[in-house]
Amino acid sequence: MSTSDTDRATPASDTDRAGATPAAPVLELDNLVMHFGPVRAVDGVSMTIRRGSVVALVGESGSGKSTVGRCVVRLLEPSSGTVRLHGADISHLRRRALRPHRRDVSIVFQDPAGSLDPRLTVGSIVSEPLRLLRLTRGRTERERATTQALERVGLRTELADRYPHELSGGQRQRVSLARALVSSPSLLVADEPTSALDVSVQASVLNLLTDLQRDLGFACLFITHNLSAVEYLADEVAVVYLGTLVEHGPSAEIFATPKHPYTQALLSAAPVPDPVRQRRRSRVVLSGDIPSAIDPPSGCRFHTRCPIAVPMCAERVPELREVAGRRVACHLVSDEDEDGS
Ligand SMILES: Nc1ncnc2c1ncn2[C@@H]1O[C@H](COP(=O)(O)OP(=O)(O)OP(=O)(O)O)[C@@H](O)[C@H]1O
């Protein structure tokens, strides 16, 4: 490619999706570790999320997904490792030093009823970040931004005077989204944003999130235990098991040919609309529960439940290596393994 091609002004999203020039990193995690006393919730996670891209963080309950999300938005201070936002190390910043970064990263939680202050009106909830982060000048500007944020998530502006308990679950989650996006963050952490909602409204909230992401172009760390929900939403999938990454790469490749036995197991448990793919897919059934994060298994943490484990798996920790266009941590996936067999 010539220099002039590289320099040509192309809309960021086109360039990013075509993979011509990698977009700038928004978030970089480098060997992130979060221990709660003896509980090794997150044990060395490294990944990059680039501008405008959606990365799904998947894995069973207790694998450390929410803990990663909370470290990213600095609700938690990591035990070690680094969290970089637009290149700035925010891992250990204190309240005041964090403030300039707060507008850049937001989080939406699973349970909107628990995460919205019941004493505040919808309008105050949505406008609070503008006030706290001093992003608007004066009340009129704040009200205009709040109205716009409510309209963007499909809520009537009259709802601004209501309280959270007067709204439905779906409406409350829309309020959470409006609040999270009112500061125009470049990264949104969505922690199981639909799993506490009625099945009937889950799809509409997921569609809204997808539309907002496309329109506003923020990067997204989408935390979920439901792999099938992310196939069309995520550009990349990162699979965690007991606090470590086992596979990470482009969604299309991971869904077509999952390499790690744990990814294969998660995928074989998820229904696929395409019967041909469903038949081709290897069936791996997970037995037992995820082991305790207090005393994780030696070697490969997955070896106690892995259907293809060999003695070496209990002894040596597998490195996260580049294989077939993604990163995989498994001794038994070979470098030549390109066909998904
Ligand atoms: N504040 C805390 N104190 C002690 N242990 C914690 C704390 N928060 C999380 N843990 C433990 O850390 C581990 C990872 O929890 P985490 O909530 O991050 O997992 P998860 O993959 O998000 O699960 P879920 O899908 O159930 O939310 C679990 O063993 C959990 O019990």
Decide if 134 is inside a domain. Answer: no
Residue 122 tokens, joined: 């919808």
CA distances from 240 to 64, 105, 266, 319 (A): 7, 22, 11, 14
- Test site for ligand 1: of 67, 75, 266, most ligand atoms within 8 A of the Cβ: 67
Question: ipTM of this predicted complex?
Answer: 0.97
CATH of the domain at 80: 3.40.50.300
232 lines ligand 1 (CB under 6 A): no
CB 329 within 8 A of CB 321: yes
Decide if 178 is inside a domain. Answer: no
Q: Locate tokens 């393994």: which residue?
A: 337
Ligand 1, atom 24: closest residue by C-alpha? 61
70 lines ligand 1 (CB under 6 A): no
Count of domains for the chain: 1
Ligand 1, atom 31: closest residue by C-alpha? 62
Decide if 124 is inside a domain. Answer: no
40 lines ligand 1 (CB under 6 A): no
Q: Locate tokens 């309240």: which residue?
A: 95
Q: Is 85 helix (H, G, I), strand (E, B) or coil?
A: strand
Domain that includes residue 51, residue range? 23-104+213-341
Decide if 152 is inside a domain. Answer: no
**What single-letter amino acid sits at 264?**
Q
Decide if 30 is inside a domain. Answer: yes
CA dist 135 and 313 (Å) reads 52
Cα 65 to ligand 1 centroid, rounded to whole Å: 8
Work out the angle at residue 198's Cα, subtended by the Cα atoms of residues 203 and 171, and round it to the nearest 5 degrees: 75
Q: What is the pLDDT along the chain (341 residues), one digit of tens a residue?
A: 333 333 333 334 444 455 567 889 999 999 999 999 999 999 999 999 999 999 999 999 999 999 999 999 999 999 999 999 999 999 999 989 999 899 999 999 988 778 899 999 999 999 999 999 888 888 899 999 999 999 999 999 999 999 999 999 999 999 999 999 999 999 999 999 988 888 889 989 999 999 999 999 999 999 998 787 788 889 999 999 999 999 999 999 999 999 999 999 998 877 666 666 665 556 677 878 889 999 999 999 999 999 999 999 999 999 999 998 999 999 999 876 654 44
Decide if 322 is inside a domain. Answer: yes
Q: Is 59 helix (H, G, I), strand (E, B) or coil?
A: coil
Cα 228 to ligand 1 centroid, rounded to whole Å: 22
CA dist 219 and 237 (Å) reads 14
Decide if 311 is inside a domain. Answer: yes
Cα 247 to ligand 1 centroid, rounded to whole Å: 20
Q: Which atom of ligand 1 is nearest to the CA of 292?
A: 29
CA dist 34 and 96 (Å) reads 22
Decide if 83 is inside a domain. Answer: yes
Global pTM value: 0.90
How far from each other are the two terminal CA atoms of the chain, in whole angstroms? Answer: 34
